[in-house]
Structure 1
Amino acid sequence: MGYPPEPWSLCGRMTVSVWAVPVAAAPPLPVELRGAVRVVRAGSRAFVGAAWVDYRPGGDMSYRELLAAVLVRAGIRPRVTISHIWVDSVDSRDGGRELWGIPKELAALEITGTRASAGSIASAGFSAVRPLLRLPVRFRCTQVLHGRPRTTPVRATARCGTAKVGWDFAPDGPLGFLAGRRPLVSLVAEDFRMSFGAAAQR
């Protein structure tokens, strides 16, 4: 096993945008989740986020990531479900799949202060407004692990601010459902410190 046990302690920088897309265009939930969570809707729209993440040295692992996730709920409790995700680390791919059911794939990713790219999947240019206060961020991620729902806690702090992001999605690629759409909001989380996963019970 080349990856650490959960929880993973990670640090770095994230840029995320959120879209309201027609429910029919949003990634469908896996069959195994349909009794556990529901897609959050605003009329005929669902909310989808996409993020570039640069996990930097200082945490348990360092690698780069592009992901898309759908906002869902378990009752009234909000969750996210990751529908698409690419990393440039075999250990991250294997750990994400085996620990939490996160469907990580490998891709060549490049992330700098102003640009990001993931082969023919997507690219972006971004600039951030000066980050504001360091804020706590907590959410839960529900995936399918061994044929059953698995919900994982995520806890973080970050210096958060708004960002300007210009996305370019390949229309015939896996994130083509976002091509040509304008995000509702884009945010940057600078110098985040994250714990992903639950500590082992003793």
Structure 2
Amino acid sequence: MSLLLPPLASSEFRLIPAAAEAALPPDVQLPEDVPPAPWRCTFDGFIWVQRAGVGAAAMLPEPLRAGPRWLMGAHLHYTDTPVGPYSEVFAALLVRVGVRPAAHVPFMAVDELGSVRGGRANWALPKTVARFAGEPAAGGELEAVGPGWRIGTRARPLGPWLPFRAALPHAQVRPDGTVARFTTTVAGQARLAPVEVEVTSGDRLAAWMPPGRHMAVQWRDASLTVTAATRHTP
């Protein structure tokens, strides 16, 4: 039987294991409360898969130690969420938790403080704040910039829009070492879109999420549901 995990307290937010680039700025003031999971959202944007770079294993907290070979990146704009519209960029390492594959997110940035609190409280997602430019619905060039880092994407969509649905299990580690499991389900219109990804960083983001040209999927007006987090039991 799965055991639902309570939201993290605000005092635990800065203790979530994360990449250095996902650190919360010291002066950020988050909302007092946001809606609990599950969240249902609508978005446009790009999701790609690439080889994980040097130092990817070091991004995994102790309960998830394994050698990740693949990384999933995304540059999205949410048009409807429980906390309003916002943009997002993230990098997730594809690992195994026991015998099951899962995505672990060491880095995620958004431009909505309610999303920062919701991600950290509900799922131990290490969301931080960034500035965004570009419109994912229109394709072309997109940019996300935070303290000491930048991610830019240029896409060239191919082929027709087709209906597509996917579900991805996640594994995040809470400050007490508990592995939180939850699932993201995406459904909507999608098409292939090779994307050129530029990553610069004063720390290690560009090493374990190396820049390059990758195959991506472009989504439009897609629905996304994130379930409540449950405790992982081996």
Fold shared, TM-score > 0.5 on shorter chain: yes
Shift of 1:171: 5.1
Partner of 1:190: 220
* One-letter amino acid of the counterpart of residue 171, structure 2: T
> How has the CA–CA distance of structure 1 residues 32 and 76 changed in structure 2, closer, same or farther, with 3 Å as cutoff?
closer
Partner of 2:183: 153
Is 1:169 the counterpart of 2:195 in the alignment?
no
Deviations 1:114-152 (A, max 9, x none): 221112411111132244321221111110124211011
| Structure whose residues are more often strand by fraction | 1
* One-letter amino acid of the counterpart of residue 133, structure 1: L
* One-letter amino acid of the counterpart of residue 47, structure 2: V
User: Which residue of the other structure, out of 123, 141, 152, is the alignment partner of 2:170?
Assistant: 141
Q: Distance in 1 between matches of 2:151 and 2:106?
A: 15
Q: Distance in 1 between matches of 2:33 and 2:133?
A: 23
Deviations 1:55-85 (A, max 9, x none): 013x423110010010012233221001111
Q: Distance in 2 between matches of 1:55 and 1:13?
A: 6
Q: Distance in 1 between matches of 2:143 and 2:156?
A: 15
Structure 2 length-normalised TM: 0.73
Is 1:6 the counterpart of 2:29 in the alignment?
no
Q: Distance in 1 between matches of 2:75 and 2:110?
A: 10
Shift of 1:156: 2.1
User: Which residue of the other structure, out of 106, 118, 139, is the alignment partner of 2:144?
Assistant: 118
Find the residue that maps to 1:71 and give its secondary structure.
Answer: strand
> How has the CA–CA distance of structure 1 residues 171 and 154 changed in structure 2, closer, same or farther, with 3 Å as cutoff?
closer
Q: Distance in 1 between matches of 2:183 and 2:229?
A: 10
> How has the CA–CA distance of structure 1 residues 81 and 131 changed in structure 2, closer, same or farther, with 3 Å as cutoff?
farther
> Where in structure 2 are there 5+ consecutive unaligned residues?
1-31
User: Which residue of the other structure, out of 14, 17, 20, is the alignment partner of 2:48?
Assistant: 17
Structure 1 length-normalised TM: 0.83
| Structure whose residues are more often helix by fraction | 2
Contact 2:186 2:222 in 1 (8 A): yes
Percentage identity across aligned positions?
Answer: 23
* One-letter amino acid of the counterpart of residue 187, structure 1: V
Contact 2:41 2:224 in 1 (8 A): yes
Shift of 1:189: 2.0
Shift of 1:163: 0.3
Find the residue that maps to 2:50 and give its secondary structure.
Answer: strand
Q: Distance in 2 between matches of 1:132 and 1:32?
A: 39
User: Which residue of the other structure, out of 78, 83, 87, is the alignment partner of 1:55?
Assistant: 78
Q: Distance in 2 between matches of 1:131 and 1:2?
A: 41
Q: Distance in 2 between matches of 1:99 and 1:93?
A: 10
Q: Distance in 1 between matches of 2:206 and 2:186?
A: 30
Q: Distance in 1 between matches of 2:55 and 2:63?
A: 20
> How has the CA–CA distance of structure 1 residues 82 and 199 changed in structure 2, closer, same or farther, with 3 Å as cutoff?
closer
Contact 1:121 1:173 in 2 (8 A): no
